[in-house]
Structure 1
Amino acid sequence: MGYDYALVHLTYTLPPAALLTLLYAPLCTKLDLYEIGFLITIAVTSTIPWDSYLIRTNIWSYPPSVVLGPKIFDIPIEEVFFFVIQTFNTTLLYLILSKPVLHSVHLFKEAKGTREGQKWKYIKLMGQLAFALTFKKGIDYVRAEGKQTYLGLIFVWAAPFLWMLWSLAYQFLVRLPLTSTLVPIVVPTLYLWVVDTLALKRGTWVIESGTKTGITLWPGLEIEEAVFFLFTNCLIVFGLVAFDNAVAVLNTFPAHFPSVPTLPSPALLVRALLVPASTYDGDGIVALQQSVQRLKAKSRSFYLASSTFQGRLRIDLTILYSFCRLADDLIDNAKDAAEAKQWVSKLKTFVDLSYSEDEKKPDGSLVKANDKNQGQATLFAVRNFPDDVVLTLLLLPTQRLDKEPLCELLKGFEMDLAFTQSNLSGPIKTESDLDTYGARVAGTVALLCIQLVMYHYPGTSEVKAKRLMASGHDMGIALQYTNIARDLAVDATESKRCYVPPGWLKKEKLTPESFVNGLKSGTPDEFFLKKLGAIRGRLLERSFGLYDKSRGAIEELPREARAPMRVAVESYMQIARELRRPGFMAQAGRATVPKWKRIWVGWRALLGPVKR
């Protein structure tokens, strides 16, 4: 009896497990726990027979003086725990690196008879051939019963699993970012190579000389051990990718899977993986890809926050926010006011077509609006909007959203059109007007987000739902005040708009014209900067006032959406905190939050309510 192997865990495997657990705990969901347990169960049950055989045939051994004594099928308990802890650590690293990724956008429709479809067919076959040849080589090594026996047993054991996982999830294994595939393989493998080198030198475990090649990757590390840890980490990551591929299929294609349980059964996961890629909704995938790219470019705070939402809710929120961004861009990027008005009119028509009321046939049967007008809305969108906009419009989850907030949002865009060269303050005459504007362009979006939360996580009473939506509406206005405070210079120089109520300007002895001209000058004097600071401070005071009033409602949301919504709000309010930071250069116009700080703010928000 000895403690050397146990000390390996205490020194090398448990500390990384503790650190990774600490980092990932705020992000962890029920599905993540299910995935971790699922992978560990498969890893342990598939490795025990193979490892037990190696020990019983004296290919490797553990001196009695280095292990505690208890065994499972001749395997020391410390070795069985190694299967668990390696899988746990590699899985957590994978989950941390994959959390920002919306897996649905990495699916791909393999249209039969196309060059792209043929390419994927060859990619799949090449991977299958590589693993089949590895298996064949392993059999040859084992039959030879020489110094390559151990290496052959590794090939024979690992290659069939890798072949199967590749066959099921080759798309994801190729299309996912390298941070989700290569990094969680390479980093744990390099680390375990070092651990294994130290353990072999100490004699914690021993490989019998007659069954190993004698080749070392570096002094002290047998090539067989290097291959073993590489293959085991490949198996873990391939399994994780296959799991996430299945979940992505379940979440992305309601036509195939109308409802998805929180914890899909293994049978359902396999069913999802077996759905032919040729039957995927290619337009839906492209719409999601366009939406994600739009958010990455235009809404970094929301893109970060969206990664903390789950499943179909995350997809719906991504499409909704992308719709808001594209509508804003169509209007802001119009060549003139007339074209901008046309875009607002077209968006109104599209919304009206999407929400037309049900009608009755002469025989009394009901024609559902979605069935009757889907074609009309689709045709209108195709004929009147750019190609990179159409698919997002068609994927907008109107059946889960009320029409009124969308109409109010378009009224907010109409308010923007009231700003002209000769009317810099546009429709903003009072603080009440500014509240109305904020309610229309941001309060509506918050309402729609909460409606989606209520749809995907039902059970909230009607009274409570109304209260939550009212608070969300106020929070949206708070975020818009922050947005205005951030973009004062940008709005003045690029859009020639002044969202500051004239009464606020008058208090600082400014007019809309002098305010805009001062911001456009590029080098405002100290006197103007002081006035600008006072105006920005007033906008932020209003923002934080509404934020303080509304943020408590976040804790009443369904548990699954509570922390993610906190992240969404706090990520944006951090911009307001940056604007309040002493030394902020007001003339820079737009405050930015460093990426590391956005991640820190999001992680802290996941832990619980943030103190102001």
Structure 2
Amino acid sequence: MYDYAFVHLKFTVPAAVLLTAIAYPILNRIHLIQTGFLVVVAFTAALPWDAYLIKHKVWSYPPEAIVGPRLLGIPFEELFFFVIQTYITALVYILFNKPVLHALHLNNQQNPPAWMRVVKVTGQVVLVALSVWGWNAAQVHQETSYLGLILVWACPFLLAIWTLAGRFILSLPWYATVLPMFLPTFYLWAVDEFALHRGTWSIGSGTKLDFCLFGKLDIEEATFFLVTNMLIVGGMAAFDQYLAVIYAFPTLFPKVNRYPTTHMLLQSRLINTSRYDLERIEGLREAVERLRLKSRSFYLANSLFSGRLRIDLILLYSFCRLADDLVDDAKSRREVLSWTAKLNHFLDLHYKDADATEDPKKKAERIDAYIKTAFPPCAYQALHLLPTHILPPKPLYDLIKGFEMDSQFTFHGTSDSTDLQYPIADDKDLENYAIYVAGTVGELCIALIIYHCLPDMSDTQKRELETAACRMGIALQYVNIARDIVVDARIGRVYLPTTWLKTRRKG
């Protein structure tokens, strides 16, 4: 009795619950909107098709295998399958795509490589051919009827998705599309084979090819689960493509709320790809690569954020890392001071030389000209893309002070240095150092978070959060110093106040 309901209780519901528990920490409202939208589309599209199959005896269900209620002749258990399959596959897609920064994969929208054009056109031709074949095969009650009905129903939807988002899908890492398609498919094949073996549902004789992929799993059923999961993954990817356009290009979408509106999504679909700022995409790619090479932990952690906040955090880190590298790689104290002076002047151009009457385009050109003349080419994108319109100036200036202060360890005791003491002489110096190199980063990060996620927060709450973020940064820096006391001492870096060391020697 009620075998179909037990199939859900044993297989689909537990899988959905498990995936929900795994994905819960990273799910946000956008994911829920994506999934909910696809569930509605899948349910609406499958309803008349499924009703047709049942009416024409392609599918049938023993009366004792279902609870009883039907809609258009479709058992409620089958209606639930539309929902639960879409939900499961969407969650698998979300999990595998969380590490992927989709904005990086918009670079092939203007001038795709030749192979991508060929694959897209070939896919379109194949889908059109399958649609035509499916239409012909579905016209008569014969062994190809069920397969034809699957193809004539699914292939036009696949053709639409492939036409709209084919290049983007091909640009994504294979694990972000292939695995979300096939892992749920393999699982549902096993579930379907189990149900067919038990007689929970059956395919009408004379409407199928009588070829099984394995066990009792008919090739038509295997095809059905594969193409429907392709539709779900393709739909999720198309949604992500238009979200990526919104997040990646501030010139096209200057102000983006935490959750983009439907109007924005429609706009992103209609915008001509010739308006995409591919130089910005290249700069973002460079920032991600710098992140990967210089900070594995932050490279992994950034995927916990989403939207334009994630992009701006990456760009902020890229600037911080670049500035630190310029100072660290300096060969003399004089070169250090030269780089810090140039970095400070770069900030001055944004914050102190602001002229309300100056044309923003001319100002940007003036700053770009300075970057190109004062810094090496590898520094251009990190400086050019820094979101200074969001970031407060003081933490940035203090960060440069921290890099300059840190460099004093490198040249301490050399003929190039005029400093007779280590830069951290007492408790106040230690606190200032921690503020400069870590507290500032906390303040800058919280400024981005407030701007993108909590723009209506009161000034009092903002100050409280900024103070707390600074204190957290200081605490983490103290932990780092305490952890590496011995290691740092071996390379001539003493981050403990020298007054503490003198006190210890006297004791």
Change (3 A) 1:111 1:356: farther
1:478 aligned residue? 475
Maintained 8 Å contact 1:61/1:205: yes
C-alpha displacement at 1:325, in angstroms?
1.2
Question: Which piece of structure 1 moves more, 253-262 or 56-65?
Answer: 253-262
C-alpha displacement at 1:490, in angstroms?
5.3
Maintained 8 Å contact 1:62/1:206: yes
2:292 aligned residue? 296
**TM alignment of 1:295-444, pairs within 5 A:** 295-359=291-355, 366-367=357-358, 370-419=360-409, 420-422=411-413, 426-444=422-440
| SS across alignment from 1:146 | coil
1:593 aligned residue? none
Maintained 8 Å contact 2:141/2:206: no
Question: Which piece of structure 1 moves more, 298-307 or 410-419?
Answer: 298-307
Question: Which piece of structure 1 moves more, 372-381 or 211-220?
Answer: 372-381
Change (3 A) 1:499 1:250: same
2:416 aligned residue? none
Determine the C-alpha separation between the residues in 2 that align with 1:337 and 1:49: 76
| SS across alignment from 1:217 | strand
C-alpha displacement at 1:394, in angstroms?
0.8
In structure 1, give the amino acid aligned to 2:358. Answer: V
In structure 2, give the amino acid aligned to 1:393. Answer: L
2:246 aligned residue? 250
2:444 aligned residue? 448
Change (3 A) 1:65 1:176: same
Change (3 A) 1:110 1:244: closer
TM norm structure 1: 0.77
C-alpha displacement at 1:434, in angstroms?
1.2
Alignment of 1:468 with 2:465, yes or no, is: yes
**TM alignment of 1:590-601, pairs within 5 A:** none
Change (3 A) 1:265 1:69: farther
Determine the C-alpha separation between the residues in 1 that align with 2:260 and 2:398: 38
C-alpha displacement at 1:435, in angstroms?
0.9
Maintained 8 Å contact 1:425/1:497: no
Change (3 A) 1:407 1:262: closer
Change (3 A) 1:197 1:121: same
C-alpha displacement at 1:86, in angstroms?
0.6
Specify every segment of 5 or more residues in structure 2 that has no aligned partner in the other structure, as ranges: 414-418
Determine the C-alpha separation between the residues in 2 that align with 1:84 and 1:200: 20
Determine the C-alpha separation between the residues in 2 that align with 1:71 and 1:508: 83
Specify every segment of 5 or more residues in structure 1 that has no aligned partner in the other structure, as ranges: 361-365, 511-612
Maintained 8 Å contact 1:416/1:426: no
| SS across alignment from 2:389 | helix
Alignment of 1:269 with 2:265, yes or no, is: yes
Alignment of 1:60 with 2:59, yes or no, is: yes
Determine the C-alpha separation between the residues in 2 that align with 1:409 and 1:303: 21
| SS across alignment from 1:411 | helix
1:89 aligned residue? 88
Q: Deviations over 1:277-334 (max 9, x none)?
A: 3321111111211222222232233333322223212211111112111111222123
Change (3 A) 1:125 1:7: same
Alignment of 1:218 with 2:208, yes or no, is: no
In structure 1, give the amino acid aligned to 2:20. Answer: T
Determine the C-alpha separation between the residues in 2 that align with 1:33 and 1:312: 18
Change (3 A) 1:294 1:489: farther
| SS across alignment from 1:367 | coil
Question: Which piece of structure 1 moves more, 392-401 or 308-317?
Answer: 308-317
Determine the C-alpha separation between the residues in 1 that align with 2:162 and 2:358: 46
Q: Deviations over 1:391-419 (max 9, x none)?
A: 12111111111222111111111112222
Change (3 A) 1:488 1:161: farther
2:31 aligned residue? 32
Determine the C-alpha separation between the residues in 2 that align with 1:131 and 1:270: 25
Q: Percent same amino acid at aligned positions?
A: 46
Maintained 8 Å contact 1:109/1:282: no
TM norm structure 2: 0.92
C-alpha displacement at 1:463, in angstroms?
2.0
Question: Which piece of structure 1 moves more, 350-359 or 161-170?
Answer: 350-359
1:503 aligned residue? 499
| SS across alignment from 2:206 | helix
1:5 aligned residue? 4
In structure 1, give the amino acid aligned to 2:5. Answer: A
| SS across alignment from 1:211 | coil
C-alpha displacement at 1:427, in angstroms?
0.8
Maintained 8 Å contact 2:93/2:233: yes
C-alpha displacement at 1:265, in angstroms?
4.7
Determine the C-alpha separation between the residues in 1 that align with 2:266 and 2:158: 16
Maintained 8 Å contact 2:340/2:400: yes
In structure 2, give the amino acid aligned to 1:12. Answer: F
Change (3 A) 1:490 1:198: same
1:284 aligned residue? 280
Maintained 8 Å contact 1:56/1:74: yes
In structure 2, give the amino acid aligned to 1:245. Answer: Q
| SS across alignment from 1:334 | coil
Q: Deviations over 1:532-578 (max 9, x none)?
A: xxxxxxxxxxxxxxxxxxxxxxxxxxxxxxxxxxxxxxxxxxxxxxx
Q: Deviations over 1:373-400 (max 9, x none)?
A: 2111111212333333211211111111
**TM alignment of 1:506-525, pairs within 5 A:** 506=502, 509=505
Determine the C-alpha separation between the residues in 1 that align with 2:217 and 2:202: 12
Change (3 A) 1:327 1:49: same
Q: Deviations over 1:192-243 (max 9, x none)?
A: 1111101001111111120101111112110111111111111111111111
Q: What RMSD, in angstroms, separates the aligned Cα atoms of the two structures?
A: 2.2
Question: Which piece of structure 1 moves more, 138-147 or 411-420?
Answer: 138-147
Alignment of 1:198 with 2:198, yes or no, is: no
Maintained 8 Å contact 2:108/2:168: no
Matched residue count? 499
Question: Which piece of structure 1 moves more, 428-437 or 259-268?
Answer: 259-268
Change (3 A) 1:54 1:425: farther
Q: Deviations over 1:249-278 (max 9, x none)?
A: 111112222333444455542432343333
Determine the C-alpha separation between the residues in 1 that align with 2:68 and 2:217: 26
In structure 2, give the amino acid aligned to 1:92. Answer: L
Determine the C-alpha separation between the residues in 2 that align with 1:483 and 1:132: 60
In structure 1, give the amino acid aligned to 2:9. Answer: L
| SS across alignment from 2:252 | coil
| SS across alignment from 1:249 | helix
Maintained 8 Å contact 2:189/2:217: yes
Maintained 8 Å contact 1:110/1:120: no
